[in-house]
Chains A and B, each alone.
Chain A
């Protein structure tokens, strides 16, 4: 490869009808994806959703069963990994233990016969502030330093596309936050296209321009982090990206402005534009921090959804905010995040309360959540115990 193939900027990545089958299971089912040049794109999903497989397909480390991969408009589906203008920051870093840090970083440059690999490697190491450790071996570095070397080893090649395979997974929280910021800064500096795979929703939202939520080998929803968070389309996205309160009911009213469903006899409305379905059983959701808690029934109002009365069953104080769990007959347990504008909680366990939110904050989902929510685990221990019991009963009945 010639040095002239250095990318001046990122290239766009297009996946067309990608399918990947392994013996016994299908990892990816008909994946179509377009990542514009120069963007920071995050693939977010739980483990086993096919996101790492997608990354390996793009890197050329796996071959797709069907479909095409295009980088910068060029079909690279049948090319070998070393022929692709792509570099990967591996989850395990995979720094060569028999080489110094400098040689690790210069490895790709030497393979491509780029002139002056040593100085370029030093330059890349300066970018990640590790030039003073150039003569060391990888095993003499800490996890965070190794991570930065892995990053330098990839970006020194100026790939059209940089793949990041959960590179921050092994770092502790503080270092992780710091590295997230650094990665973002470096991406903006070098202007490459980043494809970042992660299962950490906060990481995906803080770093990426565009987030694609992946589930069971398919992209559930894709968009800017704010758009995804404020308007999730499916129950999976609503629960995987942050927390949601979901209510399912039959549509009782459908005007040009709002769709209203009946939840245990109470009317819950959602703007038409924010609802994916307008008839039949519809699930309406709202984020916990959008809810207000009232000790007396608030006045009915067409612009506000009100649920209650319910009983506060759990209060947990977390400094900035307080999380309340409110059990409302027929509507289930509702999570409320409330900013601590007063000293201490405003409600206590056992209080009867009402809950309200602005209709504009509701969102209507395209599907109905599963009976047992996969990601309801982060509500409280009681619901986990209930899930376990239900799972056990189901198992015994089988």
Chain B
């Protein structure tokens, strides 16, 4: 899990005997081989592809290896609204998912402790959507929120929506879909931290003149920071690269395309492999920077 990445259990190992380190190396070998084969090689290939140049007088989709760094400039120039939109949508979805999941996880993990049966039941309900493919679930939402659907016609009948307004195809629909799809990824890490939250700290806080809100802000939130960081990362990273919710086939429209949709289109439709590869690398780099700053700022390594 993401937790391991931030753990600061910097147990400085004693200089182990050589024989021991050889065994450790041997045990690590399968993992290293796997990573080289399925992570490092594609990554190198991706970097090389991103620098390719179109073959002179070649067909569409024919490229040669080169050092054509202008690819990056071109994709940023052409697709910067998509890049910004992706991170904007992902941020909005993360915030909404956190706002929705925190009270839910708090209820399951802290308030429902006295009723273990209710606790398990609620956890099952959080996980239950996983039993159905998320493509199907997203399609179902498309049906439920389409212009002819009961929900939208009712809203229009009640004049809560303009008669000619749509919901599917709007940014709101995409953010709604992203939020919905990532809520379990937010709730579960939050639950695991809040489940272990020692309520005696909360009592100590209120004993030391902190109002319920101050206890929440000064004690509960800092103590649940590992769950918040893990949950937001597990939501933000995949949401930024998501290409299902924003797709026109699902909840998106022409002007809600995210970077994932652009990459997909460039790879599969336009056969512009260098552009797609360059966009992928930009996405990866930006996420790495954001995550790095975020983890550093939240200071969670102290808590784990």
- Also in contact, A111 and B209, with CB within 8 A (given A61-B203, A90-B204, A96-B219): yes
Q: Which of B200, B214, B303 touches A111 (beta carbons < 8 Å)?
A: B214
Question: Is the Cβ of A97 less than 8 Å from the Cβ of B303?
Answer: yes
Residues in A whose Cβ lies below 8 Å from that of B211: 80, 82, 111
Cβ–Cβ contact A82 & B200, under 8 A: no
- Chain B 280-304, CB-CB to A under 8 Å as 1, else 0, gives 0000000000000000000000110
Chain A residue nearest to B199 (CB atoms) is: A94
Cβ distance B289 to chain A, nearest Cβ, rounded Å: 26
Sampled A-B contacts (16; CB under 8 Å):
A60-B207, A61-B207, A81-B203, A82-B207, A82-B210, A86-B207, A87-B207, A90-B200, A90-B203, A94-B203, A96-B201, A96-B222, A107-B208, A108-B208, A137-B302, A157-B209
Known: A96-B201, A98-B222. A88 touches B207 (CB 8 A): yes
B204 and A96 contact, CB distance less than 8 A: yes
- CA A107 – CA B202 in complex, angstroms? 13
Q: Is the CB of A157 within 8 A of B208?
A: yes
A13 within 8 A of B: no
Q: Which residue of A lies closest to B225 (CB)?
A: A98
Q: Could you tell me how many residues of chain B have their Cβ less than 8 Å away from some Cβ of chain A? A: 21
Question: What residues of chain B lie closer than 8 Å to A20, measured between beta carbons?
Answer: none
* A contacts, CB < 8 Å to B: 1, 59-61, 80-82, 86-88, 90, 92, 94-98, 107-108, 111-112, 137, 153, 157
Looking across the interface, which residue of chain B has its beta carbon closest to that of A93?
A: B204
User: Which residues of chain B come closer than 8 Å to A111, judged between CB atoms?
Assistant: 208-211, 214
Which residue of B201, B208, B214, B219 is within 8 Å of A153 (Cβ)? B208
Instruction: Say yes or no: A98 contacts B203, CB within 8 Å.
Output: no
Chain A positions within 8 Å of B214 at CB level: 82, 111
Q: In the assembled complex, which residues on chain A have CB atoms less than 8 Å from the CB atom of B204?
A: 88, 90, 94-96
A112→B203 contact, CB < 8 A: no
Per-residue CB proximity of B213-228 to A under 8 Å, as 1/0?
0100011001101000
Compute how far the CA of A112 lies from the CA of B208 in the bound complex, rounded to whole angstroms. 9
Contact B209 A82 (CB under 8 A): yes
B217 CB, nearest partner CB in chain A, Å = 11
Q: Enumerate chain B residues within 8 angstroms of A97, measured Cβ to Cβ.
A: 201, 223, 303
Distance between A222 CB and nearest chain B CB, rounded to angstroms: 26
Q: Can you name the residue of chain A whose Cβ is closest to the Cβ of B204?
A: A94
Interchain residue pairs A-B with the least CB separation, the first 6: A108-B208, A94-B204, A111-B209, A81-B206, A98-B222, A94-B200
- Closest chain-B Cβ to A47's Cβ sits at a distance in Å of 18
| In the complex with contacts A90-B200, A92-B200, A111-B214, A98-B207 CB distance below 8 A | no
Chain A neighbourhood of B206, CB < 8 A: 60-61, 80-82
Instruction: Return A36 CB to nearest CB of chain B, in Å.
Output: 23
Q: What is the CB-to-nearest-CB distance from B245 to chain A, in angstroms, rounded to a whole number? A: 36
Residues of A within 8 A of B201 (CB): 94, 96-97
**Cα distance A80–B223 when bound, in Å?**
23
With a 10 A CB-CB cut-off, give which of A1, A92, A96, A98 has the most chain B CB atoms.
Answer: A98
* B205: chain A residues within 8 A (beta carbon): 96, 107
In the assembled complex, the Cα of A28 lies from the Cα of B200 at a distance in Å of: 22
Distance between Cα atoms of A309 and B225 in the complex (Å) = 73
Write the nearest CB–CB distance from B113 to chain A, whole angstroms: 15
- Least CB distance, A376 to chain B, in whole angstroms: 35
Q: Which residue, B206, B212, B223, has most C-beta atoms of chain A within 10 A?
A: B206
Residue of B nearest to A114 (CB): B209
Contact of A112 among B207, B209, B223 (CB under 8 A): B209
CB distance from B225 to the nearest CB of A (A): 8
Q: How far is the CA of A190 from the CA of B204 in the complex (A)?
A: 22
Q: How far is the CA of A153 from the CA of B201 in the complex (A)?
A: 13
Q: How far is the CA of A219 from the CA of B160 in the complex (A)?
A: 65
Residue of A nearest to B208 (CB): A108
- A99's nearest neighbour on chain B, judged by CB, is B222
Contacting residues, chain A, for B223 (C-beta < 8 A): 96-98
The answer to whether A1 and B207 have CB atoms under 8 Å apart is no
- New A-B contacts (10) at CB < 8 Å, excluding given A98-B223, A157-B209: A59-B207, A61-B207, A82-B206, A82-B208, A94-B203, A96-B222, A97-B223, A98-B222, A107-B208, A111-B208
Q: A86 to B214, alpha carbons, bound, how many Å? A: 18
Give bound CA distance, A61 to B201, whole Å: 12
- Asked if B210 and A98 sit within 8 Å, CB to CB, the answer is no
> Nearest Cβ in chain B — how far from A71, in angstroms?
14
Per the bound structure, the CA–CA distance linking A96 and B214 in Å amounts to 14
The interface residues of chain B lying within 8 Å CB-to-CB of A157 are 208-209
Q: How far is the CB of A229 from chain B (nearest CB, A)?
A: 33
- Residue among B203, B223, B302, B303 with the highest chain A CB neighbour number at 10 A: B203
Q: Which residues of A contact B225 (CB under 8 A)?
A: 98
* C-alpha gap A108/B218 in the complex (Å): 12
B 210-250 contacts with A by CB, 8 A: 210-212, 214, 218-219, 222-223, 225
Residues of A within 8 A of B198 (CB): 94
Q: How far does the Cβ of B56 sit from chain A's closest Cβ, in whole Å? A: 62
A124 to nearest B CB, angstroms?
13
Closest Cβ neighbor of B209 among chain A residues: A111
Distance in angstroms between the alpha carbons of A112 and B206 in the assembled complex: 12
Minimal Cβ-Cβ distance residue in A for B200: A94
What B residues does A112 contact at CB under 8 A? Answer: 209
> In the complex, what distance in Å separates the CA atom of A287 from the CA atom of B225?
58
Q: Which residue of A lies closest to B218 (CB)?
A: A107
Q: Note all chain A residues with C-beta closer than 8 A to B210.
A: 82, 107, 111
Interface positions, chain B 4-39, Cβ under 8 Å from A, are none
Inter-chain CA distance A341–B209, complex, in Å, is 56
Bound CA span A94–B207, Å: 11
Q: How far is the CB of A156 from chain B (nearest CB, A)?
A: 10
Q: Which of chain A's residues have a CB closer than 8 A to the CB of B207?
A: 59-61, 81-82, 86-88
Query: Within the assembled complex, what's the spacing in Å between the Cα atoms of A55 and B212?
Result: 20
For the complex, give the distance between the alpha carbons of A60 and B214 in Å: 17
| Distance in angstroms between the alpha carbons of A86 and B209 in the assembled complex | 9
Residues of A within 8 A of B218 (CB): 107
Report Cα–Cα, A90/B208, bound state, in Å.
12
Residues of B near A87 (CB, < 8 A) are 207-208
Chain A neighbourhood of B303, CB < 8 A: 97-98
> In the docked arrangement, what's the CA distance between A97 and B211, Å?
19
A80 contacts across to B, CB distance below 8 A: 206, 211-212
Which residues from A are CB-within-8-Å of B219? 96
Q: Closest CB-CB distance, A313 to chain B, in whole Å?
A: 48
Rounded to whole angstroms, the CA-CA distance of A350 and B241 in the bound complex is: 89
